[in-house]
Amino acid sequence: MQCDVCIIGGGLVGCSTALHLVRAGKSVVLVERDRIGAHASGANFGGVRRHGRNVLELPLSTRAFDIWRNMGTLVGNDCEFMPTGHLKIARSEAEMAVLEQWSSFGAEHGIPVVLHDRTSLRANFPWLNTSSFGASFCPGDGHANPRLAAPAFALRAGAEGAVVIQGDGATTVEDARDEFEVTLHSRRRIRAAVLVNAAGAWGRHFARYYGDEAPVEAVAPQMFVSEPVPYIIDAVLGMVTGGLYLRQIPRGNVIFGGGRGILDPNCHRSSPSDRVFAETVGLAGDLVPSLRDIAVIRSWTGVEGHCEDGLPILGPSPRRANLYHAFGFSGHGFQMAPAVGAVLSELIARGFSETDISALSPRRFTGAKSSILAESEI
Amino acid sequence: MYSPRFHSISENDRQKLTLLVDGVSVEAREGDTLLTALMRHDGWVRTHEFDAGSRAGFCAMGACQDCWVTLADGQRLRACTTPVRSGMAIVRKPAINV
Amino acid sequence: MRAAETLLRAGLSAALIDEAPLAGGQIYRQPPESLRRPARQLYGSEARKALALHESFSRLRTSIDYRPETLVWGAREKRLLLSGPAGNTELAFDKVILATGAMDRIVPVPGWTLPGVYSLGGAQVVLKGQACLIGKRPVFIGTGPLLYLVAYQYCKAGAEPAAIVDTSDFTAQIGALPRLLSQPATLLRGIWYNAALVARRVPVFRSAKPQKIEIRGRQLVVTFKRNGKSFEIGGDAVGMGWGLKPETQLAEILGCAFSFHAGSRWHLPRCDAMGRSSTEHVYIAGDASGIRGADAAEAAGELAAFAVLEDLGHTVPQTRRQRLLAHLARAERFRSGLERAFPYQVPELAGDTVLCRCENVTVEEVRAAISSWQISELNQLKALTRCGMGRCQGRLCGSAAMEVLAAETGVEISDVGSIRGQIPLKPLIGARFQRKAAP
Ligand SMILES: Cc1cc2nc3c(=O)[nH]c(=O)nc-3n(C[C@H](O)[C@H](O)[C@H](O)COP(=O)(O)OP(=O)(O)OC[C@H]3O[C@@H](n4cnc5c(N)ncnc54)[C@H](O)[C@@H]3O)c2cc1C
């Protein structure tokens, strides 16, 4: 099979890249080993926030924000996106200072936030516990249904001409003159002028083929969902410490996450940890006391690529022309993926993008150690 | 109008208990599950979240999870596996969600 | 229980964990103290066996670590996660025998979510455990031996069943006779129930195709088709079930391999004759590895205990072992006979049927999603439609959802997958994990 661009990985990153590329007139083959969205992109928390992000991600995150608001027009499905606003909780004065500092970064990027002290928290978010010190609220951020997003992008991309292969992974990548030859598990071969590595937690493997090293390890954040109860939690919750994140959908289920589950030794699958179960469910009941009474009906995990500095590996390979990396999203990829596809397609089809992703370049690991501090929250 | 009921076939020397169902005092017997008590009283257990109708359990053995009820203090219980206790107050709230 | 007894006799220490408050399982279920009735009345022809089982349990009770009202909500390697009167605890084990039983298999019919409609097993539990009838004139629909047994038990308890609406046909039952003869006593009991129902003039409709259950006036009316003609039967309750379906979630969590079982159109944990699963320290007994009934379950329990003993280097009585194996083989043959007699026929489901009663997802919605999202696997169906995503985690809709998916896509039923079991195996209240007082 011959195409302009072959994408390895059918998570939201790969699917969004596929859609933007076919729209830019490229012929695209997307290869997914399991099912579209089967990993991080389908299992994640569904948080769509710019709030509290590392400033280096903000250009990308802001662009993604605009796409999320128009998701219905882009892919024909709004993916249940709800701009409820995002509330980040501080439990101490020191944590509040972190929020205050971010509010000025936010202002610079056109993301205004509202700071709340204990009293105004109480008045505005009565379902919250009374022990929180304060919080910062970012209007416009919100949440969406991760089970719908990647399939919606893939379906659209397929309808517009992309070839979407599922259940057949890439096993090797070789150079074939100045093209790439990707061999699949089924022994099918794909030839492409451009290769996009969107293999999520497994992206490091393909990067290594071309000598690109990135300190990305697989982790398995753990999620929970409650039975449906009356809809009261009308904002996405996060904490400065990142220990817990929580949202409710209008159907009534409360979805929350925190801690990490257990990874299989081969890092392919993961499963929930019972210790994390006890801790996180306990924390959720501390933060929103009414949750103590209700039942948790399911827990799960997703495998995510976590980079040492908490930032994705995104941009052209420093070593091989026409190879682009887009993996290791470190817990932030659901929100950003729609823009990742847009930016990559601009880079591939036009050679440049107005969105500044230079700080995320794979190049940062070729030289001296980076001094960027990792952000802890999903 | 049709309204289902459980019919007792033996007893009746069992001790009587009183519980509150939507604020009304209801008599039950020692050994009844909450499901039995409600089904002997007025034939429904809960309002379903996503359809307008009411539900009254289905499997009666703790598998289908279709008989969870809420007590006045917010506690949630599965009616078919919970024995009634005197003074229990059940609130069968109306449908709430979309 | 039989397994526990055998292990204790060999000098091992054992724990028995049961979600129910009193021992006995589904079939020999004991009512609460205040509702005790004579065994004969409770268990009918099985009274002697029930008493024997309860008796041997009271002997066990002091020497076993017995934990009633305790849910196993998950497991990891050699630890079980428990939630019960003692709060949330863990139990480390060397070997575990899963005797997690079964529940009714359901074919949804429009109206099956109405109050007054119960599973056959549920109707039986209400009778045995609570000394109540779900109605005085119940209509029983579905197929399998339980259909007739429950109707019979309801008759004995004073009900007048309005009808039995059996979806299989009589010729299938005749055709299965040779296999059913492998357990003549059980077969005889079946015939006896049937005869008793005929004597009480309970109308039996075979080859019926249930259409809907609806409220009409003071009645619950079941509509079904038979040979192209439409029938309506009114009653005051409905019991429904299409045989039993093992509870296999815990085996799945413990990593046991499954294979598709064509007769029951369901995935079962792979076991050897003694009950050894593919996971070294996990053994499976009773209905949990395939439905063979109560007698077989006792034998299987004892055999699984023998397997544990053998694997721990103990010697087990060989003649007894052989006898039990032969007994199980007969039960297995009987089961395959039952599968022929009461085949699980997969009906064409009406679009407005609620398929998933937790999330209220209809067959129509599921069909539309299958075609618009190009769904080919059951967990994908769950992710995109919420069918099987509710409190019961697909216990009720899973089997019917498989059928709808297979029929819609043309994919073989064995290849559409099954709804993944996840922790907690049943809903768990948040407060159980609270360490601090409310802030
Ligand atoms: C539990 C959890 C909660 C999260 N919460 C949030 C959140 O609230 N907000 C947010 O913005 N982000 C969140 N994230 C992060 C976000 O989900 C990810 O960053 C994002 O989905 C990454 O998308 P992806 O396409 O890179 O990865 P994935 O979705 O993992 O996709 C990678 C795909 O590559 C495929 N693949 C791998 N190897 C091969 C091969 N050899 N051949 C073919 N295919 C291959 C895999 O099968 C996989 O489907 C969370 C992550 C998790 C796990």
| Three-state secondary structure string covering C258-314 | EEEECCCCEEEECCCCCCECCCCCEEECHHHHCCCCHHHHHHHHHHHHHHHHHHCCC
pLDDT of residue C435: 64
Asked if pLDDT for residue B96 goes beyond 50, the answer is no
Measured between alpha carbons, how far is C145 from C190 in angstroms, rounded to an integer?
7
The mean pLDDT of chain A is: 95
Mind telling me how many Å the CA of B17 is from chain C's nearest CA?
13
Side-chain half-sphere of C403: how many Cα atoms within 13 Å?
A: 20
Burial of residue C333 (CB within 10 Å: 0-12, 13-18, 19+) is middle
Count the alpha carbons within 13 Å of A56 in the hemisphere toward its beta carbon. Answer: 17
A184, A255: one domain: no
Question: pLDDT value at position A44?
Answer: 98
Which of A291, A306, A321 represents a domain boundary (last residue)?
A: A306
Does a structural domain hold residue A351? yes
Q: What total of structural domains would you count in chain A?
A: 2
CATH code, domain with B57:
3.10.20.440
Burial of C325 per CB tally in 10 Å (0-12, 13-18, 19+): middle
Model confidence pLDDT, tens digit, residues C133-185: 999 999 999 999 899 999 999 999 999 999 999 998 877 777 777 777 777 77
Greater model confidence, B94 or C56: C56
C390 inside 8 A of chain A by CB: yes
Between CA A27 and CA A23 the distance in angstroms is: 9
Q: With respect to residue A115, please indicate whether it lies within any of the assigned structural domains.
A: yes
In a domain, A79, yes or no: no
Q: For residue A84, how far is its CA from the centre of ligand 1 (angstroms)?
A: 24
Cα C402 from Cα C412, distance rounded (Å): 10
A158-167, C22-31, C110-119, C244-253: which range is least confident on average?
Answer: C22-31
- Domain-located, residue A78: no
Q: Does A232 touch chain B (CB under 8 A)?
A: no
Given this model, what pLDDT does residue C432 score? 79
How many other CB atoms are there within 10 angstroms of residue A369's CB atom?
A: 10
Q: Are residues A302 and A320 in the same domain?
A: no
Residue A197 contacts residue A314 (beta carbons within 8 Å): no
Q: Nearest residue on chain B to A230, judged by CA atoms?
A: B96
Q: Quick one: pLDDT at residue A298?
A: 97
Mean pLDDT of C12-25: 85
Domain range for A100: 84-141+218-306
What superfamily would CATH give domain C106-242? FAD/NAD(P)-binding domain (3.50.50.60)
Residue A70 lies in a domain: no
| Residue type, position A71, single letter | M
- Do domains C2-103+245-339 and C354-415 share one topology? The answer is no
Q: Residue A19 pLDDT more than 70?
A: yes
Contact criterion met (CB below 8 Å) for A96 and A90: yes
Q: Which residue has the tokens 């659209």?
A: A156
CB C133 to CB B4 under 8 A? Answer: no
Cα C191 to Cα A194: distance, rounded to the nearest angstrom: 72
The answer to the question of residue A74 being in a domain is no
- Decide: C91 and C80 in contact? Cβ < 8 Å: yes
CATH level 3 topology of C2-103+245-339: FAD/NAD(P)-binding domain (3.50.50)
Does A347 or C36 have the greater pLDDT score? A347
Same domain, A164 and A302: no
Domain boundaries, chain C: 2-103+245-339, 106-242, 354-415
Residue B49, pLDDT > 60, answer: yes
Residue A136 and residue A237 in one domain = yes
My answer on whether A296 and A228 are in the same domain is yes
Is the pLDDT at C437 greater than 70? The verdict is no
Nearest beta carbon to residue B96 from set A230, A290, A294: A230
C neighbour chains, 3+ CB pairs within 8 Å: A, B
Ligand 1 pocket, A151 CB below 6 A? no
Dist. CA A154 → ligand 1 center (Å): 14
**What's the pLDDT at C379?**
97
Band the pLDDT of C439: cuts 50, 70, 90: very low
Residue B66 has pLDDT above 90, yes or no: yes
Q: Which residues pair with B32 in a beta bridge?
A: none
| Residue B97 forms part of a structural domain | no
CATH number where A20 lies:
3.50.50.60
Rounded to a whole number of angstroms, the distance from the CA of A226 to the nearest CA of chain B is: 12
Residues A181, A315 share a domain = yes
For domain C354-415, the CATH class is mainly alpha
Q: Label residue B11 by pLDDT band (50, 70, 90).
A: low
Q: Which helix (H) or strand (E) holds C49?
A: helix C47-60
Give the count of domains, chain B. Answer: 1
Q: Is the CB of A34 under 6 A from ligand 1?
A: yes
Question: What phi and psi values does residue C92 have, to the nearest 5 degrees?
Answer: -85, 145
Q: Rounded distance, CA A316 to CA A344, Å?
A: 9
pTM of the entire predicted model: 0.95
pLDDT digit string, tens, across residues C350-396: 999 999 999 999 999 999 999 999 999 999 999 999 999 999 999 99
Q: Which of A79, A263, A334 to mutate to test the pocket of ligand 1 (most atoms within 8 A of CB)?
A: A334
CA distance A80 to chain B (A): 13
Does any domain span residue A75? no
The residue range of the domain holding B62 is 16-91
Residue A168 Cα to ligand 1 midpoint, Å, equals: 17
Is the Cβ–Cβ distance between C101 and C26 less than 8 Å?
Answer: yes
